Amino acid sequence: MQQQKCYVLPGFLKSVLLNGDQRIYIFILNQIQDMKEVSLMMNQYLSTINAFHPYTWVICNQQPLPLEINGVKQILSTFCKYHFQFIERNIPLQQVQRIEKLIVISDQIQFTQLANLIPSLWQSCLTNKVHLILRYREIICRLNQIISHNIELTQNQVEFLSRINSRYQEEVPFYGKDISEYPKANTGVPECLEAILQYYERHDDYLRKQGVFRTSGSVQQEQKLIQQFKVRNYSVLEDYDPDVVSTVFKNLLSQLKTPIFPFEMYDILKETQINTSVEKLLEMFQVFFAYMPEVNRKTTKRIAELLYHVANYESENLMGLHNLSIVFAPCFLRPEQTDISDFHGAITVAHHFNLLVQNVEFFVQQLRANPQQVQRLT
């Protein structure tokens, strides 16, 4: 099984089982020093990195300390509080619906107690998703080894996470590939993305809908649509709700193995001041485009054209370029590893992405005028 390093605040782990393609967030309560900071970090992940993907929560204590009912109540109530403070920052209630499993590891708690702790605002989202694992000392006797920063998961820990995430172990993921691995349409854009873009071109009325691209679709319907995409059956798009199509669209982009704009470009833009002159930013993007593979450039152009078109309906859909950039910038630009500074960096990058969308045709024309430059750099 492949594994990644987990990177954490004290008491909060984010670990990824790559072959399962699902995020698992582990809260070790007795190691949490600042519940507010942990809550804000979790909100950051949901809003900027993995905003449209199912995930699992695990709540436990460092072995051998028992997990009491008040500890679970503390983290659920605190996170719910800060979660809803962030609604205006594009973290809707639907993100809670994307919790695939909420797992509590404790031999001090009864299931009925646990079910009664779910905040009322989340009750409908977490129906049949809450699990209690007893005798956890026997199951994860080495859990105390994974609270350090930047430490790889041990095989025992990977096996444990595999068991709680077994539903996804045998499925070959649709998300998470390099953009070059997807079959291409004659436009040079991946077939799946081209099919979605043409879907929106056929349904201009969907683009006028208030909050277009902000509302998440059903997780179950998303998984069904992905199965059709795996066999390159794109005609079924007409059978799905626009919010489901939108979710697949954003998820596909945000989960690319390497984002359309490579990781280094995020780091450069994050450090570029918002008040940097337009001329300098245009020059930077021109260099970026010259270094990008052709499929990345063509995909960026096609999607930027769609976003610009959607922004023309701002009076109806309330999604001008500013709001669209907040939603889509993380789909194109993201850091290779995330820390707390990336919360503010994401705001700066979204501002610069807005400029890119407004001027994407300029970069493409420049490359057409200087094809030898592209050949030299790519």
Kindly report the three-state secondary structure assignment for every residue of 142-157: CHHHHCCCCEECCHHH
pLDDT digits (tens, 9 = 90+) for 264-273: 888 888 888 8
Confidence of residue 306 (pLDDT cuts 50, 70, 90): very high
Residues of the chain with pLDDT > 70: what percent? 71
Count the alpha carbons within 13 Å of 39 in the hemisphere toward its beta carbon: 16
- In this predicted structure, what is the pLDDT of residue 150? 41
> Is the pLDDT higher at 139 or at 184?
184
pTM, entire model? 0.56
- In this predicted structure, what is the pLDDT of residue 375? 36
Strands across the sheet containing 12-17: 130-133, 99-105, 55-60, 22-28, 12-17, 5-9, 151-152
pLDDT digits (tens, 9 = 90+) for 33-85: 788 788 777 776 666 545 556 778 888 877 567 788 888 888 888 777 765 55
Average pLDDT over residues 142-170: 46
Query: What does residue 90 show for φ and ψ, rounded to 5 degrees?
Result: 70, 40
- In this predicted structure, what is the pLDDT of residue 48? 54
- In this predicted structure, what is the pLDDT of residue 185? 94
Amino acid in position 183: P
Query: What does residue 281 show for φ and ψ, rounded to 5 degrees?
Result: -65, -40
Amino acid in position 320: G
Which of 115-124, 235-244, 275-284 bottoms out in mean pLDDT, i.e. has the lowest?
Answer: 115-124
Where would I find the H helices in the chain?
35-44, 69-85, 94-97, 111-116, 136-139, 155-164, 191-202, 204-207, 219-230, 242-254, 263-270, 278-291, 294-311, 314-317, 321-332, 341-369, 371-377
DSSP string of 234-265? -GGGGGS-HHHHHHHHHHHHHT-SS-SS-HHH
In the numeric block, the tokens 């990195």 are attached to 49
Average pLDDT over residues 4-16: 64
Q: How far apart are CA 34 and CA 311, in angstroms?
A: 40
Distances (CA, A) of 124 to 100, 128, 219: 13, 9, 14
> Helix (H, G, I), strand (E, B), or coil: what is residue 164?
helix
